[in-house]
Amino acid sequence: MKVPILGTNVSCTDYQSSTARIIRWAEMGESRVVCAANVHVIMEAHDHSEFQQMLNSADMVTSDGMPLVWTMRLKGINGQERVYGPDLMLAVLAAASEQAISVGFLGSTEEVLRKLAENMTARFPGLQIGVKISPPFRTLTSEEDDQITQQINASGVRILFVGLGCPKQERWMAEHKERVNAVLIGVGAAYDFHAGMVRQAPHWMQQLGLEWLFRLIQEPRRLWRRYLWNNPRFVVLILGELIRERLILKCHKRG
């Protein structure tokens, strides 16, 4: 089941069911796409219909941000919880380690990937990391893209975490579904968090939906526009959507 939020369909799921589904897809060797949606992702989709179509074609779109969780609850999904990309990554890695499923990392720098692999193998003994790829930050040539795709498939990984940032990672996953023989999971800033390069917001700030403020203080130059432009627009648009839905529901009941 999915709930539309400003035109983007967000999955009604939790960590346990999301992880179980990803592991099942991986064991069956299926090519799937899993996205983690927060306000930034939703607003990118709202502003760019092509990007929204990519998200809506994904196999799972989790409620990565608390504003989405609150919206889903207001839309009638009682008990909906946050399925935060970095925490989902840990849950999937734990399950992959137990099931001997090979995983891979695509994105970020070689240094971040090295530290990430060290930390994750220490945390999850027996974890099989089949490939670590740090692609150039520029647009790849078709030959380079084919080489990376072949490298991933040749490695035998069944779960590939993609940390290229929004919207680049979602576009990459949409373009490589069926080309890469693995479950593709977009994880955003999770690499930096789990590699120990960037601090995560305290749990209480995450629960109050204030993680954006913590990150803005850390990286104001890079993130100011994302948060100070997108967040107010999201609130206004969501309020309008909720009011319209309530009015439509009242009209149906009267009819």
Q: pLDDT band at 251, cuts 50/70/90?
A: confident
Mean pLDDT of all residues belonging to the chain:
94
- Tell me the per-residue pLDDT of 15-52, one tens digit each, with 9 for 90 and over: 999 999 999 999 999 999 999 999 999 999 999 999 99
pLDDT(252) > 80? no
Residue 254, pLDDT > 80, answer: no
pLDDT of residue 255: 65
206-243 pLDDT, tens digit each: 888 888 888 888 888 887 777 888 999 999 999 999 99
* More reliable by pLDDT, 215 or 100: 100
Q: Say if residue 194's pLDDT is above 80.
A: yes
d(Cα 55, Cα 9) in Å, to the nearest integer?
A: 8
Work out the average pLDDT over 156-185. Answer: 96
Comparing 216 with 160, the larger pLDDT belongs to 160
pTM score, whole prediction:
0.92
The tally of CA atoms less than 13 A away on the side-chain side of residue 51 is: 18
Position 248 scores a pLDDT of: 85
Question: What's the mean pLDDT in 64-75?
Answer: 96
pLDDT above 90 covers a percentage of the chain that reads: 80
Q: Which residue has the higher pLDDT, 68 or 219?
A: 68
pLDDT value, residue 17: 97
Q: Compute the distance between CA of residue 140 and CA of residue 149 in angstroms, rounded to an integer.
A: 12
Helix%, strand%, coil% for the chain, nearest 5: 55, 15, 30
DSSP secondary structure string, 170-201?
Answer: HHHHHHHBTTBSSEEEE-TTHHHHHTTSSPPP
